[in-house]
A = this chain, B = another copy of it.
């Protein structure tokens, strides 16, 4: 590996996945394939592309473009992903937002906390 490759490696960076997302996604009803789509969306957003197409996403995945389209649609419908609209210089931009994912995670953690407390009190 030469110096250009090493610099490229460092510049391609890392995507940080919160431990709690890795611990609870399956309990939120998210599959591994769906989580990987969300992680790829996060990667694109961190690199400045806030609205990657299914073709762009599937290029880095083992799933086809049409499967990717279905997964995105399902994530949007089930409220794990959201499309925000942004007007800049009279042009309307669309961008994916992962906020609904964090909201669902928050609600789950709060509910889980309650259940744990109730269980403790019962014992």
Q: Mark A97-113, 1 if CB is under 8 A from B, else 0.
A: 01100110111011001
A3 touches B106 (CB 8 A): yes
The residues of A with any CB-CB pair to B shorter than 8 Å are 1-3, 5-7, 9-20, 22-26, 30-33, 35-36, 39-40, 43, 46, 48, 60-63, 98-99, 102-103, 105-107, 109-110, 113
**How far is the CB of A45 from the nearest CB of chain B, in Å?**
10
A7 to B40, CA, bound (A): 19
A3 touches B107 (CB 8 A): yes
B102 touches A11 (CB 8 A): yes
A7 touches B62 (CB 8 A): no
By a CB distance below 8 angstroms, the chain B residues around A30 are 62
A77 to B40, CA, bound (A): 27
A15 to B30, CA, bound (A): 18
A12 (CB) vs chain B CBs: closest residue: B19
A103 to B107, CA, bound (A): 22
